[in-house]
Each structure stands twice: as C-alpha cells, then as structure tokens.
Amino acid sequence: MIARVFTLRLLVLAIGVLGQSGLLSAQSLSWDAALSTFSSQLTADVAADDVGGIVAGVMVEGDLVWAQAFGWADRDARTPMSTASISRTGSISKSVTAVLMLRLVDEGVIGLDEPVERYLPAFASVQDRRVDAQPVTFRHLASHTAGLIREPQWPDAVVGPIELWDKRIVESLLLTAYDSVPGARYQYSNIGFGALGLALAKAAGRPFMEMGCTEILEPLGMTGSEFVVAGEKLEARLAAGYVVGQDGSIDGGQPAMNMPVAGTKCLTVVCIRR
C-alpha cells in the first residue's frame, strides 16, 4: 500500500492550545523545556524522513506564541521550509466551507435542515438510496451523517483543473452511493462535503471560491490564504508535496486534489491562527 506523505499538509495548526490563564506561561522554564523537547522531536522526525517538512505553531489564548519550521519546502531544490511557507492543508479546507454554510444560514439563504436536492438536483443521482430514507440536508452533509461512502467510485474524481471542480462534483455524484440511511450514524465523506460546497454556491448564486474569499478569508485578514496559488511570489512560497511508495520511490508531481470545498486550501501557520 502506498504511504501518502503529503508533507505540504503537515501544517501543524496548534500543537497545544493553552487557553486557561492558570496553565503554563510562555515565560516559565517548564514551557521552554516543553518547546525545546517538541522542537527536538520534530527536528529528528524530518531528518529521519528526509522528504518534506513541517511548520508547527502553538497558540495561547488565541495568540500564536511560537512557530518554527523544519525540513524542506522543496526537497529537490533544497529550499528549507519556513513559517512563511504556504501549504495545502487538506481537509482543514472543510472548516471554511462549514463557516460559510453557517453564514448563509444566518442570512436566511438556506436552512440547516433543508434538503440539499432543492439547490443541487444532481444529488438525486446518488445510488442505493432507500425509498423510505429521509432527504439529505445541509446539516447531514456538514456533520458527515448523510450516509454516503467516503469517496466516489472513480479514481479521477479530484483530478484536473481546480476551475472544473463543480463539474467534477456533479459527475462524481453519479458514482457515489449510500452506505447507510441519512441521520443514522457518523460516516466521514469527502464527496459529501464536495456536494455541500456546490449546493451552497447554487443556493447563493455565487462561485464558491469567490464567496470563501470575500465572506470568510478577507474579513479575517487571512491574506496568505489562497484557493489558487498564482504569481511568482506566492508560487515561490508554496511547499512541494510528495508521495512515497513502499519501495522508497518518491513522486514529487503535482497533487491531484483540486477540490476547494473539501481539501485544497492553501494556508500559512500565521493565517490559520485567525
């Protein structure tokens, strides 16, 4: 089995969240010792791996009090990782989608318990639905309780230009099936979140990536956050990603994941603390 080592996704958002005033202070010897031990461990980990890198950060009461980079942002170019490096953060992207959903709920654009098919008719193409099952709602998709399989039965579902992500979702729904009835149990689903993001865009009548930027990222001051990293300055800061096979082979090609609603958000450790 191939071990996926996307070290660009190893952006450690908050290794410790010390939100209570009675806990260790940043000035204490115990705190310094803990950070030193943690830093030494990460240094050893990336040295043993010798493929990619890690950016780690620690927050105290909402403030980023410590951040450090380890290993390579680009192994082939021997570019070291830095705290300014931009990383594709995988499913952390789902947080933006969920917050945007709640924003649209507050604005009265959608209801949490409205059927998704009302805005995304293509959702009806999901296979193996029981005739007596309740409709899948926004709440179901956001909480991973829609009963969907994790991925569509299509290896290329997330391959291709990010600009075609919405078309890919519609095509993927044809190859998606229910594994349980909606509302019965928690079952993590990437295609479910993909459908959620597309349904939100349809309901609002606006492109998802535009809404994510103007409604969530820009108001929070997350200026280092991107759905699409473009331009020489930003591209130079984007950490490379790798797939390491069991035989030790390393594939440094472009990652296939191009799904802005579920797993393509590009962030820095400084941005994510917001």
pLDDT digits (tens, 9 = 90+) for 36-80: 999 999 999 888 877 788 888 888 887 888 889 998 888 888 889
Residue 2 lies in a domain: no
Is 258 inside a domain boundary? no
- Give mean pLDDT, residues 110-129: 96
In a domain, 187, yes or no: yes
Residues 147 and 193 in one domain: yes
Residue 11 lies in a domain: yes
- Judge whether 241 and 252 are in contact, CB under 8 Å: yes
- In one letter, which amino acid is 266? C
Cβ proximity of 88 and 264 under 8 Å: yes
d(CA 142, CA 144): 6
Q: Does residue 55 sit in the same domain as residue 161?
A: no
The one-letter amino acid at 200:
L
Name the phi and psi angles at 243, rounded to 5.
-115, 125
pLDDT greater at residue 16 or residue 213: 213
Per-residue pLDDT of 165-222, as tens digits, reads 888 899 999 999 999 999 999 999 999 999 999 999 999 999 988 888 888 777 877 6
Same domain, 178 and 151: yes
Host domain of residue 244: 7-90+223-253+264-272
* pTM for this prediction: 0.74
Do 206 and 241 lie in one domain? The reply is no
Domain count, the chain: 2
3-state secondary structure of 7: helix
Given pLDDT bands bounded at 50, 70 and 90, which one contains residue 240?
Answer: confident
